[in-house]
Chain A
Amino acid sequence: MTKTDPRTRFVQCEACRHIRLDEVGLCPECWTAGSGQEVVLEAIEGEIYSYTCVHPREGEPYWLAAINLDIGMRFIAPIVGNEIPTIGMRVCLTSASLAPVSEVMAKVFTEEDRGIV
């Protein structure tokens, strides 16, 4: 686990319970100031809405996915590891030290995660 940029933390407003990214320390729904209660990244799940593979001029290609999070917002995150994303795939967010460009990534659920094996 790496230390996450405080602006990329998900927090839950203590006043209205809205979950948001803690960009400016202000809830966009009720305008209550304060950081709120941090939500554990791995508890935030969602479904891949779309994806692409970015090919930087220099460096390795990496997968990005737009994820419809179950908390009601869409969030873009790189995909951990070698999984190739597809639309509809379930993922959870995670903080990963192997991130090439990010600290908050999406981890594709494996069969092991689902308790199938």
Chain B
Amino acid sequence: MRSVYVGAPGMTPFGRYPDMGVVELGALAAAQSLRALPERNSVQAAYVGCVYGGSLVGQRITRALGYSGLPVVNVENACASSGTALHLAVKAVASGELESALVLGAERLSALGRGTIPVPDDEVDARQGVILPALYAMRANRYLHETDSTVEDLCAVVVKNRRNGARNPLAHQRSMVGPEEVNGARMIADPLTKYHCCPNSDGAASVVVSSRPVASSPVRILASVLEGGVRLDDAVSLTDFATAASAAAQAYEQASLGPRDISVAEVHDAFSIAEILYYEAFGWAPKGEGFTLLRSGATQIDGRLPVSPSGGLLARGHPLGASGVAQVVEVWKQLSGVADGYQVESPRTAFCQVSGGGISGMDTGVTTVHILTL
């Protein structure tokens, strides 16, 4: 398999765009990527991740960009939609099927209104009164039961990521919050208040992957893994994130790296507890000690392993279909030293992970992990 490079990042600010559609958002992000290329035909296909954009959303976006005859693959894989789109594009380039491709994620989540993302109503969990924050709240309560962690540790994730997001001009939530504000906010699913839950965002992000350096960028993708969700039986721990852990293990093997080689990470911190559990799932902390890694300061923006320096999903926002590629845009900036205002010190290797959940009887639906390096 040959090397796959990534570059030409494009991204809209994340937030709420009541007057824009998903096609417009997607086209704005993609145009930023395409302007960095020598010519329109520098990409041979487009892979587009989106959850609620409707039929042929990728073709509608590329049509808006003036393309004719460009092969488009639309991907719906919940929150991992554009992570999956990236995986498919990487495999196509690595195998020699394509020389280069545009990878885009776009979503206008505010079109669904306020509140939590709906679980499909033909799912048993929906009939049982389950909402997504409740699934993570149950993970949190189990973790609090199993370890010496406290709700203050969950708050500390929010405070850290909101502080990071305040420095990121593209973040949805750009105000910092303190523990008292986090604890005192409206309860969603005990112990998670609204600040423990990522905002429903609109936005789009794009990159170009290629067999050659993209717009002179030396950033390469060392690993690209797509892992299917595991069924929840009574032996599966909700605090293990088994699917994500398996994806990470495969990614480390592909990249011939280990957990200690990662110098910056963007993870699927849709809820505060998730970030702590991912520390453990990805080998950055022993089982049951993720909260001690957080307490040590190691995952702060100036720590030895900054996690979610962009603000993560909790602050940068979570336009479902866009989040996977948005993470890659953010770590590309970090590796390239252009994350103005929130740059971590000299990162060499970056880790990105998104998971698509909300499916009854499974740990999660899908997880993608990408490892990038200079």
Interface residues of A (CB under 8 A from B): 5, 7-8, 21, 23, 49-55, 57, 62, 64-66, 68-69, 72-74, 76-78, 87, 100-104
Contact = CB atoms under 8 A, between A and B. Distances in A.
A64 B138 contact: yes
Closest 8 pairs between A and B when the two form their complex, measured CB to CB: A101-B129, A52-B137, A68-B234, A50-B138, A50-B142, A53-B190, A55-B187, A52-B189
Contacts, number: 91
A9 B160 CA distance: 44
Interface string B188-222: 11111000000000000000000000000000000
Prevailing SS type, chain A contact patch: strand
Given A52-B189, A55-B189, A87-B142, A64 B233 contact: no
A67 to B, nearest CB: 9
Nearest to B138: A50
Given A52-B134, A66-B138, A87-B141, A104 B128 contact: yes
Contacts of B134: 52, 54, 64
Given A51-B138, A72-B234, A100 B129 contact: yes
A102 B126 CA distance: 9
Contact of A78 (B128, B141, B187, B189): B128
Interface string B234-247: 10101000000000
A79 B273 CA distance: 23
A96 B342 CA distance: 53
Contacts of B96: none
Given A52-B189, A74-B236, A102 B127 contact: yes
Contacts of A21: 124, 361
B285 interface: no
A54 B234 contact: no
B213 to A, nearest CB: 47
Contacts of A64: 128-130, 134, 138, 189
B234 A74 contact: yes
Contacts of B257: none
B238 A66 contact: yes
Given A52-B191, A69-B234, A103-B127, 15 more contacts: A7-B122, A8-B127, A50-B142, A52-B141, A54-B134, A55-B188, A57-B114, A62-B129, A68-B234, A78-B128, A78-B129, A87-B141, A87-B142, A101-B128, A102-B129
A73 B233 contact: yes
Contact of B234 (A23, A73, A78, A104): A73
B295 to A, nearest CB: 23
Contacts of B345: none
Contact of B233 (A7, A72, A78): A72
A78 B138 CA distance: 13
